[in-house]
Amino acid sequence: MRELLFDCDREQAEIWSDALIEAGALSVSVNDADDGTDAERPLYGEPGLEPDTLAWRHNRLVVLLPEDAEAAKLLAAAGALAGLPAPADFQVRAVPDTDWVRLTQSQFDPIPVGERLWIVPSWHDVPAQVADDAVVIRLDPGLAFGTGSHPTTHLCLEWLAQNLATGRDVLDYGCGSGILAIAARKLGAGTVVGVDIDPQAVQSTLDNAKANQVELQACLPDALPDGRYPVVVANILSNPLKVLAPMLCERVAPGGHLVLSGVLERQADEVAEAYAPWLAMSVWQARDGWVCLHGQKPE
């Protein structure tokens, strides 16, 4: 395969990216052309959210070309779509063929969580050191978030392993790969429902549940039936968690537990404040700059 590289300014980066994809490029990435120099400037944004500035002052576009594409012709076609002159200064370089699936899979090994849980990717055997009575979750993240490697996922899993009472129903809001919903079911929960705004996440949750031989429900938010749950867990990010505060609190049954993660330590107070009108939340545990918040609704 081959890559086309050229530079552009901040105002043109997004325009070129969209036009190149429309013209037939396989992918476009935007990098800092000043990377490694004194002029390098970072872009900041909350994890999972876009930063305010979407490009650097000087940008290098790296364009993955289709096998039979001519770089100059693709640039000319993209320029016509964008209303911009095609850059005269560009280069094309070869890219080694890579098995991206195998490369991605190699980054995820079996992960122990506390004393009771193991997350084992579907392409791995269960490690020999895993105890016979351990709870093992076989996971294929697919296109959904949730490999079990992130601190926020660990915190939620540990809360479930330590606190989930047998037979309690669980709502996993923002289920992603389904890892928390599956863990709850394997830890002895009653009815478990996973909800996500992404249809691919809903399908990933159902597929992973089937692979783990557990029964649970998964749906989009509009399909979630009325009802309250003894345990509601949401591992998302601080801004959507604040927006969802009234709804999530309403979903907690009297005496039930609300568990939130995806929150940076510096954001803990503001998230707790957003929930204060309905439920008192406090930090249950922290790890690597992230926290898990917990609150229990009065009987």
Among residues 97, 120, 140, which one ends one of the domains?
97
**Does 92 share its domain with 156?**
no
Q: What are 137-185's pLDDT values in tens digits? A: 988 655 445 566 788 998 999 999 999 999 999 999 999 889 999 999 9
Q: What are 203-243's pLDDT values in tens digits? A: 989 999 999 999 999 999 999 999 999 999 999 989 999 99
Q: Is residue 131 part of a domain?
A: no
Q: Is residue 109 part of a domain?
A: no
**Does 268 share its domain with 182?**
yes
CATH number at residue 179: 3.40.50.150
Q: What are 120-142's pLDDT values in tens digits? A: 887 788 888 888 889 999 886 55
- Look at phi and psi of residue 44 and say left if phi exceeds 0, alpha if psi is from -120 to 50, else beta: beta
**Does 79 share its domain with 160?**
no
| Domain count across the chain | 2
| Strand ranges in 54-191 using DSSP code E only, listed in sequence order | 58-65, 91-94, 111-113, 117-121, 135-139, 170-173
**Does 189 share its domain with 58?**
no
Q: Is residue 203 part of a domain?
A: yes
* Contact criterion met (CB below 8 Å) for 215 and 205: no
| Structural domain of 191 | 150-296
**Does 206 share its domain with 281?**
yes
The count of other CB atoms within 10 Å of the CB of residue 231 is: 24
Q: Confidence class of residue 95 from pLDDT cuts 50, 70 and 90?
A: confident
Q: Is residue 10 part of a domain?
A: yes
Percent of the chain with pLDDT over 70: 85
Q: How far is CA 278 from the centre of its chain?
A: 27
Q: What is the DSSP letter of 296?
A: E
**Does 282 share its domain with 169?**
yes
**Does 89 share its domain with 9?**
yes
- Look at phi and psi of residue 147 and say left if phi exceeds 0, alpha if psi is from -120 to 50, else beta: alpha
CATH number at residue 57: 3.30.70
* Contact criterion met (CB below 8 Å) for 182 and 159: no
pLDDT value of residue 106: 59
Q: List, in sequence order, the alpha helices (H) in the chain.
A: 10-23, 71-82, 100-105, 151-163, 179-186, 199-211, 238-243, 245-250, 268-275
What is the rounded CA–CA span in Å between residue 48 and residue 17? 20
Residue 54 has pLDDT above 60, yes or no: no
